[in-house]
Structures are given as C-alpha cells and as structure tokens.
C-alpha cells in the first residue's frame, strides 16, 4: 500500500488544500440556449422593428393589393385576410398588416413592461433592504403595508385603480410597478434578512463598519445573482399582466398597437378562423416561454431557490 | 397552541379584509367629484354637481364615507349603480345586478375546481414519483409552456381548434339563464376547459416541486433504506409532509382563477361577475366596481385562510406540542 | 466458512463527470464476519459513508457503482433486481443515519416508523412488532417503553431519538447493521449513554455492524476491527489493538496523534500565573445577558447569568461547555454584538460600552472575533485580498503596496502562499477558509482574539493543525485568546486558564492544571469522564463511576433558583441545591468552584 500522495502534515497549505473545489460555471441547456436566441430576436425587433416592417402600423392596405388576377372581383375584402405574399401574417379587422403591427407593437409591449419591471425593482429592492437592515419597527410597518397590497389579486387592484383614474401610460406603469414592487420587496427582504444575520455581516459590524458600507459591500453583491432570475420571472408576469389589461381594453389605448390589444380588437375574427388574434398571443407566448426557459437554467444553477415563487 | 394558531389566523384574515376594504375604497373614492361628474357628464353645472354630491354624500369627509360604505356593505346593501352600466340600468340596486352574475361565475369556478384539483394532483404526484422519466419531462415542459403564456392564447387556440376547425362547440358561451342540461354544458365547456388548463398547470408544477422537495429529505432516504416500496414512500412518507404546501398551492391557484375568470368571461362573453366588473370599469361605475372587487377579494382571502388552516392542521408539531 | 459481508474491488464514481474526476471509492476490498463490528474510519470526503452504504446496495444521488462486487452471505447485492434489494434493505441489512432528528419522519408516530419494516417485510404482525419494539426500547434504556411509540419525533430528546433509531434498525433482526456516525451530533455527556446502549444491544442481538466514524476513541469502545480510509482507499486494516497501539501507516499515526493531546501541554505552562500582571487584558464582571424572546413565565430568556471571567495579557482563557450553555453568547456580548442586560466588560481596565455602536474604533480594533463557521464568516463574493484588505484600510488606512505587502505577511502568518490573495472562498478548503478567517482577525493587530468553536467544523487532523497554528501565533504576537469550545481535549491542549460554563453560569474557573485536576466541580468531573479515551476499556470504566450514570436522560435546564446542575448532579443535596444559590469557594488565587459542597467533600468525592 502506498502512502497517500498529498498526505496531511507535510506543509500546512497543501495539507488543507487536498480538496480544492472548482467554481461551478453557469451552463445553459439546449432549451435555455433556444430561450436566449428568442429573447435576442425580440430585443432586436424592439430596436429595429419599425424600420423593417413592410407597412406602417396604422396603414390600411389597399384593396388593389388583394386583387387576384383572373378572379372578377374589383373590390376584394381587405380585413382578416389569410397569410399571403402581400401580408405575410394576414391582415387585421381593419385590413392592416398583422406583421407590421406586431413589429411596431413589440416596442410598446416589451418597452412598457421593461420600464415597469425596472421601476418595480427600484422600489422593491430599496424598500426590501430598508426593511431588512432598518430595524424592527420599519420592517414590520413596511411588511404590513406590503401584505395588504399582496392580499388582493393583482388584476383586482388593477381594475379598481383604472376605474378611478382611467387608463394612460403613466397610470399603467405606476400601477404595475407598485403592484409588482410588493413581490420584489418580499423577496429582497427575505434575501436581505438572510444575509444580515450571516456571520460575515456580523464580522463587518464587529469591525465597526457603518450600515451603508455593509449594504453596499456585503448585502447587495449576494443578492444580485438570485434576484436576476427573479427579474426574469417578474418581467414575464408584468408582460402577461399588461397584455391582460390591454386585452380587456383597459391597457394601452388605440391607435397605439400593443400585443394584448391586438388580440382583443381581432377577437371578432375568431369564429371565422382568422389567425389575426392568435398571432400576437403567440408572440407573447414565445417571449414569455423563452424567458422562463432561461430562468429555469439560472435558478437550477443556484439551487432553484426561487422555483417555487409564484405570486 | 393549536387553537392559538388558528385564532391568530382568523384574526389576521379579518384584519386583512378590513385593510383590503380600505384599499378598495381609497382606490375608487379619493377623487370626490368624480362620480357626480361622470353621472352628469357634459350637462354638469357647478350647482347641479354640488346638489348631486350632497345627495350622494360625497361632500362628507372620506373616512365618514368609508364607514357609511362599510356599514351598508355589512348590512348587505351594496348600493345603487350610480352611473349605470348601459342604457336603462342606471339606478339599479347593485345586489340585483350582481346576484345572477355571481351565480354564473360560481358555476364556472366550481366546475373548474372540481376538474382541475383531482386532475392536477394526480399528474403532479405522478410526475414527482417518476421524476426524471419521459412522463415527468413531458409534463414539466408542457406545464412550463402553459403557465408562461397568456390565458387568452389558451382560449383563442382552443376556440380555433375545438369550435372553428372541429365545430364541436360554440365559440361563445352566452348564457341567458334559461338553459338547462346539454345546452348549459355546451356553453360552459370551453370556458371551463380553458380555465382548467390554466389553473392545473400551475398546481401540477407546484405539487411536483413540493413533493420532490420532501423526497430529497433524509427521512425519505431512510425509508428507501428500510426497503419500502416506492408507492408507500410517496403516499405514506412524502405526502403527509407535502400536504401543507400542496393545499397552499391549490388555494392560491384557485384564488388565481380570479384573474383567469376575468379574461375568460370576456373572451367567451360569459355573463359572469367578472364580465360585469370589466364593463363597470369601462363605464367607470365606481360603486359597482367596489362591490365586485370586495366579493373577489373576500373569496381570495377566504381561500388563503383555508390553506393556512390546512397547513396548521397537517403539522404534528402544532397538533401535539411537547 | 464464508464471511457475512464481502466487498471486492469496489469502485464508486461520481456521475457528475468532469467536475469530479477521481473515483469516490477506488477498488476497495474488505470482509466482515457474522457478529463482528468493523469500524470504517476516515475524514470527511474519504468515502467511508459511500462504502458503508454499498452494503445496502445503495449509492447516494450523484454516485454510481462502477465495478466490483458486494456479497452478503454469498448473494451479489449490486446485481440484485429492485425487488430483491427492497427485501434485503431493512430486513437483512439495516441502516442508522447520522442525524436521527432528520431521519425520523416528522409527520408519523415513532412506533409506526420503528415497526414499519418488520410488518411490511412480512416478518411480524403489527402487534408482535409493537411488543418487539417495546422490548428494544427497554433494552436501549429508553423511558416509558410501553407508550413511547405513540409519540411524535419532536416530542423526545436528541439522545433518545438516536437510540430509537437503533430500535428501528434492529426491529427486523438484521444480520448486518450499518451505523453512520451515530453519535457525532451529540454532546459528550449524552454520547456515553448512547454509545453504551448501542454496544450492549449489538452484542445482545448478535448482529454484525459496519460502524462509520471519524472519531478513533469512539471506535476503540465499540469495534473489533478497524479499516482506515483515505481518499477512497483502505490504507490500513487490522484489529483495534493493532491499529491503536501499533499503527503502521503514516496517515493512521497522524490520526492517532491528532486525538491524543501531548501530555506536557495538557496541563498548560507552569509559569502561567505571574503575580505582577495586575491589569488583565479583558475582564467581565457580573454579566447577565439574553435575548428578547419571552419565556412562558413572561420573563426575558437569560442565557448568561452573573458571569465573571478574566483574561490575562497574552494568555488564553478556554471556555468550555455543552451546546446551549451560553458560550457563544458570551463571545457576542464581549464583542458588543449583543448588548448585555447587566454587568461590565473591561478592556485593559477601561470599561466598554455594551453596544458596539457606541464603542470607539480603537476598542473595536483591539477585540477581534473569529467566527465558528468560516463558510459563513467569509463573504463568498469577496476575494481573499478584499477580505484581508478591508480591516487594513479601515483601521490603519493602508492602501496600495503597503496594503498588498501586509496581506502577503498575513497570509504567511497563517501559513498560506501569497497567491491565495486572488482566490474566492469557494476555491478554498475548509481548513484554508478557517486560516483566512484567522488572518482577517489578525489584520487588525488585536489585543484579544475571540475564537468561537473555530475547530469544531473541521476534521481532526486539520483541527489539530489549526491549534498548532494558534499556539504559534500566540507566541509570535502575544495576543490573548478567549478560546470557546465544546471539546475538552482541544481546550486542555491550548488554554492557560479554563472557565467551565453550565446553563449560562460559570461553575468552575481557574488555571488549566487546577481545573483539570481534583477537586472538581461535579459537572467538570462529568465532562472529563465523558471524553472518550483511546482505550477499549474506557466506556466500562467510566460508566462504573456514579457521576456519569447519574446524568442519564436529564435535560439541561436554565433555572432561576438554586444550582443549574442540580437535576443531573450525583452529589446534590435535596432542599439546598435546588433552592439556594451555591456559594463560590476560592481555593487558590484565581481558582474558584461554585458548589454547595465543601472543598473537603469535593476532594473526597474525586476519582481516578
């Protein structure tokens, strides 16, 4: 029997170093990579969509475009046309090009959702850390307030506020960010409390560090990665929420095109098999599913702590 | 200890209800002029506005109006629909408008719960028991897809396939109240199916996650090393510990039906409470919005309370203190 | 006759792939005769649990059997179909897990879990199994054997649960028991009774056992033979006597050296008391502290009660006590993390504010805290140079090259190479992390280091190397230590003075060589008697003493009246010890015992 190679007690650093662990790197599954590709595609569309769209979002397509040679119909219908060479994804209830409206709408839907998510994060994280680090009184008053907001279904809160203030972009963004800030608050506070009681924060306090330094150097860095996957989930919920409101006619108002609204305005075509309501709904789905696939990979990487979060 | 925990939950639930009523009231009533000017519309003159405000009690301070509103609510008087939701309904007592709509929504939600809960528990448990197999992977992927798409996609896709291409069912679900038997079933079928799909996906995923979470604990490894069959491990050792979380998931998702119901009733033009509320929001009929919101939020709070109760009751530490 | 268990050229691999290239078990062979107890000893990561579990045909998630055979009475376990494995597990081979608290299902009654396997495998009817379980409870010395099965796991104590797990394993009369560190999580005074119960019941049932542990002295009590495992290979294999007294392999010798404190240091330096050292580095007087949680009585929970301690300059005070005795709370109060309710902490005769927020930066700098778990004490998002650099910046305003050079010095002080400054804690082993943890405290050039259980999370050999490092640092820097531990031999080998803490009160205090020699406080005597020795007759010897027997199954209670040790004390005086606060006998300058018994009585009652 041969002696162990890195036998303990030779020199002390090799002694403790016999089992160094490699850092785990984030790897994406095939599903995750597909998700990233879809997200990149839609991000590109947000940037360049209106320039590559074949028509303007509000442009009614000319009847002349739909005249089929050989068929004796000088005034063909332009609404709810099936996909074809003129309109790749067909036309909507007013005879506008669905593809063009989809490309213009990407900017509204994704843009507003992103702004609302960022705002929700700003509010939620600030208050969450304040609650975690600011002592018992501040924590319990913020938490009670938050519980109240969370104790209503989001859509109810949305309907109540819109019934009072009407629907406009500022109202929508403010409403959405406040509603979702409450979930961000809950998670940020939980992570914050977790970190605040850890020994390394105690070590900093014993050293005499101020609260500000502790928050910046000890608390925030530990929250970034786990909160990143939550950001993805929250973004998905916000897209779904805002599209839902638009679908109910209470979100983004015409003539601005947005995906939820496009489903609503074309619903009348559904019984006749028009795909105009289906296309924007599918567009939302591709984006939200893609984000979820990426989030799944990230949260599997750090132990899936957030996989159970729903509200 | 157990009784204290239950009483504590009841108290919390009641406080939450009060807080929610304040939020709803604040959300809709902080702008005192609004209802009066909506009712009078363009015919409003300063005098007529003031007169209407005092008849409606709008010139009272907000907290007094809140207590008046709450008092009426508690005595079953939901108020009068002030702006009216369409021609001829202005001035109708809200309770009369709500009653038939509420019944319709309860039918729909009841049907969904009856189907979705056993279905998703079964699938969730099956996926957890066979974690990693093809069955599990297909259930996981399908439900992941379904929870991340909007409800109206599920609805429109179902309409296109079932109603338009296959022609089995009507594309809308208008119920006048006189339908019985097959007609009623047919009308309810597509909305129910949509909601079942939406609600089940979430319950399946979280049932699976809670059971798997329990399945990774040392006492399950112990059960494996005692030579117990898989069935017994899942049903006798894992399930009792997963009951708390699972009941929570079910309650939360039935509560989550609230938003699903709003969308689905709109798509299928189903005359339920949610459709009434959306219409009321569009016409800014604030008293009606308040009443509907209170009903939905109370249902939500009651469900959450039941879930809390179930997880307390399933915890032996609370049932049998040291 | 063929052996009961034969393991032949077993190889177990991680399924993970590239991240963990080395096999966990690399071609191990061993044999176990019927009725024999074989100990598998090794450090964490040596593969001892993996090897033991192979006797059940079980590999933990993430591991897989790659090659070799495991035969029980000639049947190849690894080749068995799932059904056959099921009837093997729990019936012919039974498993005892490390933590009974985690291995018992919280939602099911104890009795149902103990009898489940024998009923399900069709051995016994439920009624027969219940009777068998009650017999086992009796044999294991558990209280109220006829009704114990009706309880839930959370309703019994940790030591009892550990024995209940033995009942669960033995209920089916298995041929082979696999015990995975079954006493590691217990306090020393609880460990004896559990160990004794295991030993007796294994003899009585005639079962063979694989006993997995990292603790050689525990092995000495219970095993017939020992296999020493290192990095997935058996390095040495032989009878207990051979291994303990004639170890051949270098690694085995290191294990043994790490256990036995060298006798000369055990009693501490003789010149420990210099009369002219009148101003102590740290003095704590009249200290009472606790947490805001209210007890059932409506009073605040007091974790420490009227504590006095004194640390001379450059000396080490060892604070010893079992879990929950308040020793970590003491460190938190001294550091100011937990403001005291009453009493005073003096640093070089200068009173300190209770809360660290009111203390001056210089005072903070002079008292440094080394936390128990380096894993949790080092922020995983900071590199070693950031971790060590911050106190240098903060206290001394160092930056640039000066800081870099000081960091290299600090790394050198804790025997780590300078290139470690660029690493993250995740890239360090447990012992290395603890060294960085120490280096960070040293960066403040403190007067006093508070070390809270700094070696308890480490393997024996690495723990011993940290103690050696601490001794060197004490010599080099002249820093004074408050060394808090539950491990008496670690304290004995390092401390000049010792304070024995029980239920929040100091029961004995003085120079190490006085505290560790008669006369003893009855609790100190119990503690000393409970520390296992590397001698197979120790368990019987120590249980022959009435003080160890007397403590069985008595829970620690924090009391307002009388002596906290009253209920476990073999020499308690009823009517006095439970009512009146015990007096403090000063037997010598700086040596006190707090007890109602007189010095003469304590001397007489002493043993050895």
pLDDT in tens, C25-37: 888 899 998 889 9
**pLDDT score recorded for residue B61:** 72
| C396 shares a domain with C306 | yes
Using only the alpha carbons of chain A, give its radius of gyration.
Answer: 26
Q: How far apart are CA A22 and CA C527, in angstroms?
A: 41
Mean local confidence (pLDDT), C174-183: 89
Neighbouring chains of C at 3+ CB pairs under 8 Å are A, B
In terms of pLDDT, which residue wins out, A143 or A18? A143
Say if the Cβ atoms of C103 and B219 lie within 8 Å.
yes
State yes or no: pLDDT of C563 exceeds 80. yes
Please, are residues B66 and B78 in contact by the beta-carbon 8 Å criterion? no
B282 in contact with A at a CB cutoff of 8 Å?
yes
Q: How far apart are CA C168 and CA C165, in angstroms?
A: 5
Q: How far apart are CA B189 and CA B182, in angstroms?
A: 10
Q: Please give the backbone phi and psi of residue C399, each rounded to the nearest 5 degrees, phi first.
A: -155, 175
Q: Taking CA atoms, what residue in A is nearest to C336?
A: A206
Query: Exposed/middle/buried for C178, CB within 10 Å: 0-12, 13-18, 19+?
Result: buried
Q: Taking CA atoms, what residue in B is nearest to A281?
A: B153
A167-181, B160-174, C40-54, C198-212: range with lowest mean pLDDT: B160-174
Instruction: Report which DSSP code applies to C89.
Output: B
Sign of CA dihedral C521, C526, C529, C530: negative
Residues of C in contact with B232 (CB under 8 A): 120
Q: Which two tokens stand for residue C189?
A: 């005074």
**pLDDT score recorded for residue A159:** 84
Kind of pairing, strands C63-72 and C37-41? unpaired
**pLDDT score recorded for residue C134:** 92
Q: Which residue of C49, C105, C150, C181 to mutate against B (max B Cβ within 10 Å)?
A: C105
Angle at A135 between CA A133 and CA A139, to 5 degrees: 85
**pLDDT score recorded for residue A305:** 36
Mean local confidence (pLDDT), C245-270: 69
| C523 shares a domain with C473 | no
**pLDDT score recorded for residue C13:** 84
In terms of pLDDT, which residue wins out, B271 or C273? B271
Is C179 strand, coil or helix? strand
**pLDDT score recorded for residue C244:** 86
**pLDDT score recorded for residue A13:** 37
Q: Is residue C178 part of a domain?
A: yes
B144/chain C closest Cα distance in angstroms: 25
Residues of A in contact with C444 (CB under 8 A): 207
Dihedral, CA of residue B83, residue B86, residue B89 and residue B91, to nearest 10: 10
Using only the alpha carbons of chain C, give its radius of gyration.
Answer: 26
Closest Cβ–Cβ partner in B219, B227, B232 for C87: B227
Q: Is residue C6 part of a domain?
A: no
State yes or no: pLDDT of A34 exceeds 80. yes
**pLDDT score recorded for residue A236:** 86
* CATH 1.10.3720.10 domain span(s) along chain B: 95-312
Beta bridge pairs of residue C369? C450
Q: Is residue C325 part of a domain?
A: yes
Tabulate helix, strand, coil % of chain B (nearest 5): 80, 0, 20
Q: Which two tokens stand for residue A210?
A: 């101020």
In terms of pLDDT, which residue wins out, B212 or C333? C333
End-to-end CA distance of chain B: 11
Is C587 strand, coil or helix? strand
Mean local confidence (pLDDT), A143-148: 80
B215 in contact with A at a CB cutoff of 8 Å?
no
**pLDDT score recorded for residue B179:** 62
Kind of pairing, strands C497-502 and C480-485? unpaired
How crowded is residue C243: how many other Cβ atoms within 10 Å of its Cβ?
A: 26
Is A140 strand, coil or helix? helix
Mean local confidence (pLDDT), A6-32: 50
State yes or no: pLDDT of C1 exceeds 60. no
**pLDDT score recorded for residue B46:** 74
Locate the DSSP E strands across C312-352.
316-320, 342-347, 350-351
pLDDT tens, residue by residue, C480-524: 999 999 888 888 888 999 999 988 889 999 998 888 887 888 888
**pLDDT score recorded for residue A4:** 34
Domain B95-312 fold: MetI-like fold (1.10.3720)
Residues of B in contact with C118 (CB under 8 A): none
Residues of C in contact with A218 (CB under 8 A): 379
Please, are residues C581 and C562 in contact by the beta-carbon 8 Å criterion? yes
In terms of pLDDT, which residue wins out, A184 or C600? A184
Sign of CA dihedral A21, A25, A26, A29: negative
**pLDDT score recorded for residue C391:** 94
**Residue at which a domain ends, from C474, C503, C532:** C503
**pLDDT score recorded for residue C407:** 94
> In chain C, which residues touch B (CB < 8 A)?
53, 56, 58, 85-91, 94-95, 97, 99, 102-108, 116-117, 120-121, 151-152, 154-155, 168
Using only the alpha carbons of chain B, give its radius of gyration.
Answer: 24
Say if the Cβ atoms of C86 and B221 lie within 8 Å.
no
Q: Give the domain extent around C289.
A: 282-503
Q: Which residue of B4, B227, B232 to mutate against C (max C Cβ within 10 Å)?
A: B227
Name every residue whose Cβ is closer than 8 Å to that of residue C279 and which is 6 or more positions away in sequence. C313, C348, C349
Q: How far apart are CA C474 and CA C477, in angstroms?
A: 6
Q: How confident is the model at residue C268 (pLDDT cuts 50, 70, 90)?
A: very low
Q: How far apart are CA C502 and CA C203, in angstroms?
A: 35
Q: How confident is the model at residue A201 (pLDDT cuts 50, 70, 90)?
A: very high
Domain A29-309 fold: MetI-like fold (1.10.3720)
State yes or no: pLDDT of C278 exceeds 80. no
Say if the Cβ atoms of B281 and A162 lie within 8 Å.
yes
Mean local confidence (pLDDT), C99-122: 90
Name every residue whose Cβ is closer than 8 Å to that of residue B120 and which is 6 or more positions away in sequence. B199, B200, B201, B203, B204, B207
**pLDDT score recorded for residue C188:** 81
Q: Which residue of A39, A145, A155, A253 to mutate against B (max B Cβ within 10 Å)?
A: A155
Which residues 223-242 in chain B show a CB within 8 A of chain C?
A: 223-229, 232, 236-237, 240-241
State yes or no: pLDDT of C193 exceeds 50. yes
Sign of CA dihedral B192, B193, B198, B199: positive
C376 in contact with A at a CB cutoff of 8 Å?
yes
Please, are residues C291 and C303 in contact by the beta-carbon 8 Å criterion? yes
**pLDDT score recorded for residue B178:** 61
State yes or no: pLDDT of C443 exceeds 90. yes
Q: How confident is the model at residue C144 (pLDDT cuts 50, 70, 90)?
A: confident
Q: Mean pLDDT of residues grouped by 10 in chain B (322 residues)? A: 81 84 76 57 69 67 77 72 48 77 85 89 86 84 84 83 77 61 76 88 86 85 89 85 81 75 83 85 80 85 82 76 63
**pLDDT score recorded for residue B140:** 85
Q: Which two tokens stand for residue A263?
A: 């489903």
State yes or no: pLDDT of C297 exceeds 60. no
Please, are residues C27 and C68 in contact by the beta-carbon 8 Å criterion? yes
Q: Is residue C18 part of a domain?
A: no
Q: Tell me what the pLDDT averaged over chain C comes to.
A: 84
Mean local confidence (pLDDT), A2-14: 34
Q: How far apart are CA A89 and CA C72, in angstroms?
A: 69
Q: Taking CA atoms, what residue in B is nearest to C55?
A: B225
Q: How far apart are CA B77 and CA C35, in angstroms?
A: 81
**pLDDT score recorded for residue C448:** 93
**pLDDT score recorded for residue C300:** 64
**pLDDT score recorded for residue A147:** 78
Mean local confidence (pLDDT), A175-194: 89
Say if the Cβ atoms of C337 and A13 lie within 8 Å.
no
Q: Is residue C416 part of a domain?
A: yes
Q: How far apart are CA C216 and CA C219, in angstroms?
A: 5
Q: Is residue C535 part of a domain?
A: yes
C424 in contact with A at a CB cutoff of 8 Å?
yes
**pLDDT score recorded for residue C370:** 92
Mean local confidence (pLDDT), C74-92: 88
**pLDDT score recorded for residue A11:** 33
| C490 shares a domain with C407 | yes
Angle at B236 between CA B231 and CA B241, to 5 degrees: 125
Q: Which residue of C334, C381, C473 to mutate against A (max A Cβ within 10 Å)?
A: C381
Kind of pairing, strands C75-76 and C63-72? antiparallel
Q: Which two tokens stand for residue C597?
A: 């018994």
Please, are residues C523 and C570 in contact by the beta-carbon 8 Å criterion? no
Q: Taking CA atoms, what residue in A is nearest to B246?
A: A308
State yes or no: pLDDT of A123 exceeds 90. yes
Q: How far apart are CA C379 and CA C359, in angstroms?
A: 24
**pLDDT score recorded for residue C578:** 82
């Amino acid at each position: 029997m041969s002696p162990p190679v890195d036998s303990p007690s030779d020199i002390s650093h090799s002694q403790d170093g016999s089992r160094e662990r490699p850092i785990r790197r984030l790897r994406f599954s095939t599903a995750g990579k597909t998700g990233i590709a879809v997200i990149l595609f839609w991000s590109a569309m947000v940037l360049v969509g209106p320039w590559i769209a074949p028509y303007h979002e509000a442009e009614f397509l000319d009847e002349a475009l739909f005249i089929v040679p050989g068929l004796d119909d000088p005034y063909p219908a332009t609404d709810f046309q099936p996909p074809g060479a003129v309109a790749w994804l067909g036309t909507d209830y007013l005879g506008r090009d669905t593809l063009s409206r989809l490309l213009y709408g990407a900017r509204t839907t994704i843009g507003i959702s992103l702004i609302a998510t960022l705002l929700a994060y700003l509010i939620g994280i600030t208050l969450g850390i304040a609650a975690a680090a600011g002592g018992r009184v501040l924590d319990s008053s913020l938490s009670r307030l938050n519980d109240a907001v969370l104790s209503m279904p989001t859509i109810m809160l949305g309907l109540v506020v819109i019934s009072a203030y009407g629907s406009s972009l500022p109202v929508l963004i403010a409403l959405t960010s406040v509603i979702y800030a409450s979930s961000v608050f809950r998670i940020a506070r939980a992570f914050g409390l977790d970190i605040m009681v850890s020994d390394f924060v105690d070590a900093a306090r014993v050293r005499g560090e101020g609260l500000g330094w502790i928050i910046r150097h000890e608390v925030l860095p530990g929250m970034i990665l786990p909160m990143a996957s939550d950001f993805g989930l929250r973004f998905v919920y916000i897209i779904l929420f805002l599209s839902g409101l638009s679908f109910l006619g209470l979100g983004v108002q015409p003539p601005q095109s947005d995906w939820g609204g496009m489903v609503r305005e074309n619903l009348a075509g559904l019984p006749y098999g028009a795909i105009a309501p289906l296309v924007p709904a599918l567009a939302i789905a591709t984006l939200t599913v893609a984000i979820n696939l990426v989030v799944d990979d990230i949260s599997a990487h750090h132990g899936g702590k957030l996989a159970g979060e729903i509200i | 200890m157990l009784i204290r925990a239950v009483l504590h939950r009841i108290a919390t639930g009641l406080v939450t209800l009060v807080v929610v009523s304040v939020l709803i009231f604040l959300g809709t009533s902080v702008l005192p002029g609004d209802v009066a000017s909506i009712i009078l519309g363009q015919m409003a003159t300063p005098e007529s506005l003031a007169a209407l405000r005092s008849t409606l009690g709008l010139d009272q301070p907000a907290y007094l109006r809140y207590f008046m509103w709450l008092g009426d609510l508690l005595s079953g008087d939901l108020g009068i629909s002030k702006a009216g939701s369409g021609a001829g309904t202005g001035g109708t007592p809200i309770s009369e408008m709500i009653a038939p709509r509420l019944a319709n929504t309860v039918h729909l939600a009841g049907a969904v719960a009856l189907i979705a809960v056993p279905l998703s528990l079964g699938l969730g448990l099956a996926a957890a028991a066979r974690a990693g197999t093809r069955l599990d992977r297909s259930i996981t992927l399908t439900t992941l897809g379904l929870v991340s798409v909007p409800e109206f996609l599920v609805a429109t896709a179902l309409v296109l396939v079932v109603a338009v291409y296959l022609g089995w069912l009507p594309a809308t679900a208008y119920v006048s109240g006189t339908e019985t038997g097959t007609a009623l079933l047919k009308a309810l079928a597509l909305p129910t199916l949509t909601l079942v799909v939406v609600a089940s996906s979430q319950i399946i995923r979280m049932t699976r996650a809670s059971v798997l979470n329990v399945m990774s604990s040392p006492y399950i490894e112990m059960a494996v090393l005692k030579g117990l069959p898989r069935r017994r491990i899942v049903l006798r050792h894992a399930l009792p510990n997963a009951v708390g979380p699972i009941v929570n998931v079910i309650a939360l998702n039935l509560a989550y039906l609230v938003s699903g119901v709003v969308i689905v009733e709109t798509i299928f033009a189903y005359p339920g409470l949610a459709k009434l509320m959306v219409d009321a929001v569009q016409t800014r009929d604030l008293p009606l919005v308040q009443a509907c919101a209170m009903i939905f939020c109370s249902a939500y709070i009651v469900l959450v309370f039941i879930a809390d109760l179930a997880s307390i009751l399933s915890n032996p530490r609370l049932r049998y203190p040291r | 006759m063929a052996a009961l268990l034969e393991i032949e050229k077993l190889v177990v691999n991680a399924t993970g792939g590239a991240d963990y290239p080395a096999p966990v078990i690399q071609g191990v062979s061993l044999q176990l005769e019927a009725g024999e107890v074989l100990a598998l000893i090794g450090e964490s990561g040596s593969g001892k649990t993996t090897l033991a579990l192979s006797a059940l045909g079980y590999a933990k998630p993430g591991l897989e059997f790659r090659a070799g055979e495991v035969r029980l009475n000639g049947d190849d376990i690894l080749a068995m179909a799932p059904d056959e494995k099921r009837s093997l597990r729990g019936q012919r081979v039974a498993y005892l897990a490390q933590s009974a608290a985690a291995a018992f299902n919280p939602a099911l009654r104890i009795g149902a879990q103990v009898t489940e396997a024998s009923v399900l495998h069709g051995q016994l009817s439920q009624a027969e199994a219940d009777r068998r379980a009650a017999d086992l409870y009796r044999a294991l010395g558990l209280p109220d054997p006829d009704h114990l099965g009706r309880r839930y796991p959370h309703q019994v104590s940790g030591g009892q649960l550990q024995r209940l797990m033995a009942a669960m394993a033995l209920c089916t009369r298995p041929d082979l028991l696999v015990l995975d560190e079954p006493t590691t999580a217990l306090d020393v005074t609880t460990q004896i009774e559990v160990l004794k119960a295991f030993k007796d019941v294994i003899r009585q049932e005639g079962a063979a056992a694989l006993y997995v542990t990292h603790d050689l002295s525990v092995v000495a009590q219970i095993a017939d033979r020992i296999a020493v495992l290192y990095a997935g290979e058996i390095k040495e294999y032989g009878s207990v006597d051979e291994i303990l007294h004639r170890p051949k392999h270098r690694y085995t010798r290191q294990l043994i050296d790490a256990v036995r404190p060298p006798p000369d240091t055990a009693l501490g330096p003789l010149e420990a008391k210099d009369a002219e050292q009148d101003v102590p580095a740290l003095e704590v007087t009249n200290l009472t502290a606790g947490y805001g949680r209210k007890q059932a009585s409506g009073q605040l929970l007091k974790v420490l009660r009227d504590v006095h301690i004194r640390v001379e300059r450059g000396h080490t005070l060892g604070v010893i006590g079992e879990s929950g005795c308040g020793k970590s709370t003491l460190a938190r109060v001294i550091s100011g993390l937990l403001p005291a309710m009453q009493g005073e902490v003096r640093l070089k005769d200068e009173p300190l504010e209770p809360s660290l927020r009111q203390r001056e930066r210089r005072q903070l700098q002079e008292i440094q805290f080394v936390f128990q778990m380096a894993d949790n004490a080092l922020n995983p998002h900071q590199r070693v140079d950031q971790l060590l650099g911050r106190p240098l910046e903060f206290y001394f305003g160092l930056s640039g090259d000066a800081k870099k050079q000081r960091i290299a010095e600090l790394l050198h002080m804790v025997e780590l190479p300078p290139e470690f400054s660029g690493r993250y804690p995740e890239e360090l082993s447990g012992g290395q992390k603890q060294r960085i943890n120490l280096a960070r405290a040293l960066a403040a050039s403190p007067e006093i280091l508070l070390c809270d259980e700094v070696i308890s999370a480490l393997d024996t050999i690495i723990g011993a190397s940290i103690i050696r490092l601490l001794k060197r640092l004490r010599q080099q820097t002249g820093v004074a230590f408050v060394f808090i531990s539950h491990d008496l031999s670690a304290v004995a080998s390092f401390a000049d003075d010792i304070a024995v803490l029980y239920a929040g009160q100091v029961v004995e205090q003085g120079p190490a060589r006085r505290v560790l020699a008669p006369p003893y406080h009855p609790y100190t005597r119990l503690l000393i008697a409970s520390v296992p020795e590397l001698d197979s007759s120790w368990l019987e010897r120590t249980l022959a003493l009435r003080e160890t027997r007397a403590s069985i199954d008595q829970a620690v209670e924090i009391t307002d009246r009388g002596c906290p040790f009253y209920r476990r004390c073999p020499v308690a005086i009823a009517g006095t010890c439970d009512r009146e606060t015990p007096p403090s006998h000063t037997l010598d300058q700086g040596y006190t015992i707090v007890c109602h018994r007189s010095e003469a009585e304590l001397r007489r009652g002493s043993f050895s």
